[in-house]
Structure 1
Amino acid sequence: MTNPTQDLASRVEHRFYGDLAPWWPLISPPGEYAEEAGFAADLLSAGGQTRTVLELGSGGGHLASHLADRFGLTLVDLSEPMLAVSRALNPTATHHQGDMRTVRLDEQFDAVLIHDAIDYMTTEDDLRAAIETAYAHVRPGGIAVLVPDDVAESFEQRTAHGGSDAADGRAVRYLEWSWDPDPSDSWTITTYTFVLRDADGVVETAHETHRLGLFPRDTWLRLLTEAGFKASAHNELPTGNDHPRTWFVGRRPA
C-alpha cells in the first residue's frame, strides 16, 4: 500500500505539476478565482492591519493574482514548474520552493493563506505539520486562513469539467471525478483526464489520479487550537455551480 506521506512528497512527479504546468492557465484560468479571492481577502484582512501575506501551496499563482493589489505576497510551492507559471503571472511577488509541512522562511507575516493545496495533507500528522508551519510564519496578532475543498461531513461524489482556449491555438478540455473509496479513512480519490491541443493542432491525452485528504470540521478546529490559534470556521456561499466550502481561520494571540 502506498504511504500517504510518500504520495505528498512525490506530488511534483505528477504531470499535473510537472510538464503539464504550462497548461495550467488554460486548465483553470486566473479569472475563475476572482470570487473566492474576494472572500479570501476579507478573511485575511480580518486580522487588522494586514499588509503582508504568505501563501503556502500557491501553485500557478492564480488566486494570488487577485490579491497582489491589496497585499505584499510571498508564495511557496513544492513544484518548480508551477512556480515558473506563477512568476510570470505575479512578477511583484516573492517566490520560494518548499514543502508546506517543513518550510521555514525565518520571517513572519500579517497573514498566512493555504488554499486547496492543503488537500494534499492526507494524514492528521501531515495536516498538523502544515498548520504548525502556518503558525510559525504568522506574527502575534495575525491570522491564518485554510481552505480545503471538502470536510468529511459534507463530502459527496461529484464530477466537473472545463478548460479553455488560448489565442495561439492551444486548447484544453478536462474531466474531473472525485469519490471516497473508504469513508472510514482520511482520504479520497480524484481522477483527471485532460485533452490537450497544441498550437499546431496536435492532440494529446493525459490521465492522473490524486489522493486528497478529508477530515471532519472538529479535526481542523482541534489541530488549529493545538497549534496555538484561536480557531473558527466560516461557510462560503459561492454563486454559480461551485460547491460551498468551509474556510478555517486561526488567529494567533497578540
Structure 2
Amino acid sequence: MYGADSARFYEAQHTARGKDYRAEAEVVAEHVLRLRPGASSVLDVACGTGGHLDPFGELIGHVEGVDLSEPMLAIARHKHPGVALHLGDMRDFRLGRVFDVVTCLFASIGYVRSAAELDRTLACLARHTAEGGVVAVEPWWFPQTYLDRWVSADTVKWEDTTVARVAHTVRDGDASRMEVHYLEATPEGGVRHLTEVHRAMLFTRERYEEGFRRAGLEPRYVPEVLSGRGLFLGVRPGR
C-alpha cells in the first residue's frame, strides 16, 4: 500500500489540484471542539503525507501522526520536521499515550478488509483517546451512496513531473474496487506506466455506528461535510 511511486503521485496529485487540507481541518475542529472544548492534542491516524498536521496544530494544539506507509511518512517528515510521526497499522498500533482528539480522514477507514477489522480499528483509535475525548472518522461511501462504474481522470504538473491519472471503480461484493493507471513523464526518465488497485469496504451508517459503540464510543454522524461522505464523531465517556 502506497510505495515510493504511489506516495509521490499522491503528493503530486493533491498538491497540484489544491486539496484544501486547511478547510477540511477547520470542519473537523469545529465539530470536535463542540464536544471537547479545550482539546489541546491531536493524533492523525492514516496521516499520509501530513496535509492536515499543520492546520490541526494551529487549530487545536500538539499534533502527531501515524501511517502504515513509510514512503508517505518520509514525505511527511520532510514537510513537518518537528512533528512526531509513527509507522503503524491503524488496526493495531500502540503509542502508550492518549490524545484529546484522534482523527482518521480521507476515507482511510475503508481500507480495512472486514467488519471485524473495522471494529479492531475503532477500538484502537478509542484506546488512544483520552476520557471525554473525541474520535473523528471520515467514512468511505455507504452502499446506497456509492456510484458504481465511476470513472475519474486528471493531469497535473508538479515540480519537473507530469502525471496523468485515470481511475475506474466498480462494485466488488461488499466493497468497491478502484483500478488506477498512472502515466508519469519527466525530462530525464521519459514516460512510465504504473498501475495500482485500491479496495475499500462499503459499510452502512448503522454498521459504523455499531462499531463505534463496540469500541465504547458514543457515536453521532454529521452528513454531507468534507467530500460529501460526512463525518462520524465518537465521544469516549469520561470527565
TM-score normalized with structure 2 length: 0.90
Q: Counterpart amino acid of 1:166?
A: W
The match for 1:33 among 20, 40, 58 is 20
Distance 1:39 1:236, change over 3 A: farther
Question: Counterpart of 2:63?
Answer: 73
SS at the partner of 2:39?
coil
Percent identity between the aligned chains?
24
Question: Counterpart of 1:20?
Answer: 6
Displacement, 1:42? Answer: 1.6
Displacement, 1:201? Answer: 5.9
The match for 1:247 among 227, 231, 238 is 231
Question: Counterpart of 1:7?
Answer: none
Displacement, 1:212? Answer: 1.0
Alpha-carbon displacement from aligned partner over 1:108-133 (angstroms, at most 9, x marks no partner)? 00000011221101201111011001
CA distance in structure 2 between the aligned counterparts of 1:155 and 1:207, rounded to whole angstroms: 23
Figure out how many residues of one structure are paired with residues of the other and give that number: 232
- Residues 162, 174 of structure 1: 8 Å contact kept: yes
The match for 2:41 among 52, 75, 91 is 52
Unaligned runs of 5+ in 2: none
Displacement, 1:246? Answer: 2.1
SS at the partner of 1:122?
coil
Unaligned runs of 5+ in 1: 1-10
The match for 1:85 among 71, 75, 89 is 75
Displacement, 1:199? Answer: 4.0
TM-score normalized with structure 1 length: 0.85
CA distance in structure 1 between the aligned counterparts of 2:6 and 2:211, rounded to whole angstroms: 34
State whether structure 2 residue 177 is matched by structure 1 residue 189.
yes
Equivalent residues in 2 for 1:1-254, closer than 5 Å: 11=1, 16-29=2-15, 31-34=18-21, 35-46=23-34, 47-70=36-59, 71-115=61-105, 116-157=107-148, 158-167=150-159, 169-182=160-173, 185=174, 187-200=175-188, 202-237=190-225, 244-254=228-238
Per mean C-alpha deviation after superposition, the further-off stretch among 145-154 and 223-232 is: 145-154
Q: Counterpart amino acid of 2:217?
A: F
- Cα RMSD of the aligned pairs, angstroms, is 1.8
**The structure with more strand, counted as a fraction of residues:** 2
